[in-house]
């Protein structure tokens, strides 16, 4: 079955460093991948979308890459801040109307 897999272990890094989160997909070839941020007790919030023909996408301190050979997307936050602490979800559409999500990676930025 189609799957989106993220590292379930929490990622703890020092403020100011670059955080890198990984998303791997199996058993299909998504045309695009999305990244969402979720804070405790709240719904996910859309951050970025990257299409399969785009190697890299940037938005302020965020950067996403899409490697169709490795079947992987990397999500980077540069100059990380404690306010970036949250769970980050990777997602993609399995059909025209259905989206599948990874289980998310919890990121903690320590001052």
By CB under 8 A, how many residues form the interface with another protein?
22
Taking the complex as a whole, how short is the minimal distance between the CB of residue 68 and another protein, in angstroms? 18
Binding residue (CB under 8 A) for another protein from 27, 41, 60, 69 = 41
Q: Residue 109's closest CA among 8, 21, 4?
A: 21
Using CA atoms, how far apart are residues 65 and 42, in angstroms rounded to an integer? 26
Binding residue (CB under 8 A) for another protein from 8, 14, 18, 29 = 8
34, 69, 97, 108 from 47: Cα distances, Å: 8, 24, 19, 18
Using CB under 8 A as the binding rule, the residues of this chain from 59 to 98 that contact another protein are: 89, 91, 93, 97-98
Residue 42 lies near another protein (rule: CB under 8 A): yes
């Amino acid at each position: 079955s189609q799957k989106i897999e993220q590292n379930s272990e929490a990622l703890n890094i020092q403020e100011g460093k670059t955080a890198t989160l990984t998303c791997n997909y199996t058993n299909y070839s998504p045309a695009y991948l999305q990244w969402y941020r979720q804070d405790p007790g709240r719904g996910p919030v859309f951050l970025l979308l990257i299409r399969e023909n785009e190697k890299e996408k940037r938005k302020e301190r965020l950067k996403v890459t899409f490697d169709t050979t490795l079947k992987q997307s990397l999500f980077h936050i540069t100059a990380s801040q404690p306010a970036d602490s949250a769970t980050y979800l990777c997602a993609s559409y399995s059909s025209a109307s259905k989206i599948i999500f990874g289980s998310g990676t919890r990121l903690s930025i320590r001052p």
